[in-house]
């Protein structure tokens, strides 16, 4: 890593919640992923999020919510992050390198967990942008394939390059020694780009309403008896997808009251 960049990140070793960065990969000028050591005591359910961050210039921790992108069985933790040019955290976090430390508060929470859904035959993972992070965890979670016969991952971004993290992850599952066999051909991947040429185009909402995704994948249309869904994207996306799911008869659930679908914001604000 660039020494001038990493040197600007103060060490947090003296904090009880420090974890060490083990890997960093930059996908575009706006997106990167990284892995950190996992606190031995940390238990979480695939799909949950935690607070992570760095020491701020004022000596106080600067923390933000992040979905854990790795599954519950992984010995490390993976995160998939936006780079907001003037974002208080990510303007710094984007410069982390292997060996640097971040702060991780070991209190996982969230609604995107299998337990919050009623049993069903098929589960839909619906995400835009970094909203794929919780599904990067759930696509690698054995329970997903034990509880559902079919899994459909729809991910939409403006450009093709922004889909690459999800694409490589899905491709790696086939040969994964731990869950490759379990995944088999149960996982159907439907990435779309909205502002560039690509073999699949358009918004998730439009492809669900028109039935194009059912046709392209050769699968049955959505129905409330068999289908379950999890949604993670911008506020506008979540709102519009919820209307589509309600149109098909699915109802929003929660940890305390499992139903046909659950929703979580991928971030707060209008997006960059
Ligand atoms: P902030 O001041 O936090 O954000 C500045 C502005 O940037 C926001 O108002 C918004 O307009 C935009 N923005 C922030 N995050 C995003 C994003 N992810 N995609 C597009 N625009 C964005 N971020 C991730 O990168 N990966 C995650 O896995 C992730 N999980 C989250 C889970 C939850 C439950 C919530 C509430 C947020 C999550 N976020 C995630 C967003 C994250 O908490 C921060 O907002 C983000 O890291 C930017 O921090 P910042 O301090 O640089 O800028
Ligand atoms: P589009 O290019 O048609 O706006 P953003 O970067 O604005 O958060 O968008 C990320 C992806 O989500 C884009 O492909 C965008 O499509 C799509 N998107 C944004 N808002 C919505 C919405 N309300 N419903 C469905 N898709 C959306």
Q: What is the mean pLDDT of residues 27-39?
A: 98
At residue 270 the predicted structure's pLDDT band, cuts being 50, 70 and 90, is confident
Distance spanning both ends of the chain, measured CA to CA: 26
Q: What is the mean pLDDT of the chain?
A: 94
Q: Which atom of ligand 2 is nearest to the CA of 206?
A: 25
pLDDT at 7: 53
Q: What is the mean pLDDT of residues 234-245?
A: 98
Q: What is the mean pLDDT of residues 190-219?
A: 98
CA 200, 202, 203, 209: dihedral to nearest 10 degrees? -90
For 74-130, what is each residue's pLDDT tens digit? 999 999 999 999 999 999 999 999 999 999 999 999 999 999 999 999 999 999 999
Q: What is the mean pLDDT of residues 142-170?
A: 98
Q: What is the pTM of this model?
A: 0.95
Q: What is the mean pLDDT of residues 152-171?
A: 98
Q: What's the CA-to-centroid distance between 260 and ligand 2, angstroms?
A: 23
Closest of 189, 212, 193, 190 to residue 202, by C-alpha: 193
Indicate the top mutation candidate among 131, 213, 233 to test ligand 2's pocket, ranked by most ligand atoms within 8 A of CB: 233
pLDDT at 271: 84
For residue 15, is pLDDT > 80? Answer: no
- The ligand placed nearest to the CA atom of residue 81 is 1
């Amino acid at each position: 890593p660039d020494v001038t960049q990493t040197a600007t990140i103060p060490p947090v070793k003296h904090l009880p919640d420090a974890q060490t960065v083990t890997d960093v990969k930059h996908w575009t000028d706006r997106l990167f992923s990284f892995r950190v050591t996992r606190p031995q005591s940390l238990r979480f359910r695939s799909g949950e999020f935690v607070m992570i961050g760095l020491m701020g210039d004022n000596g106080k921790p600067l923390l933000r919510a992040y979905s854990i992108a790795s599954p519950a069985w992984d010995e490390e933790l993976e995160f998939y992050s936006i780079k907001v040019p003037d974002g208080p955290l990510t303007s710094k976090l984007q410069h982390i390198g292997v060996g640097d430390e971040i702060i991780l508060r070991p209190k996982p929470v969230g609604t995107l967990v299998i337990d919050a859904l009623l049993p069903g035959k098929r589960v839909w993972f619906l995400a835009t942008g970094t909203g794929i992070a919780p599904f990067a965890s759930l696509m690698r979670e054995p329970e997903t394939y034990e509880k559902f016969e079919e899994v459909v991952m729809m991910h939409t971004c403006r450009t093709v390059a922004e889909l690459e993290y999800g694409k490589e992850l899905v491709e790696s599952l086939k040969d994964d020694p731990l869950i490759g066999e379990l995944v088999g051909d149960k996982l159907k991947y439907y990435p779309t780009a909205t502002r560039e040429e690509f073999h699949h185009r358009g918004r998730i909402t439009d492809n669900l309403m028109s039935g194009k995704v059912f046709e392209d994948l050769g699968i049955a249309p959505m129905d409330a008896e068999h289908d379950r869904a999890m949604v993670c994207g911008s506020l506008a996306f979540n709102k519009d997808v919820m209307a589509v799911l309600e149109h098909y008869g699915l109802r929003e659930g929660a940890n305390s009251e499992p139903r046909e679908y659950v929703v979580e914001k991928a971030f707060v604000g209008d997006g960059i």
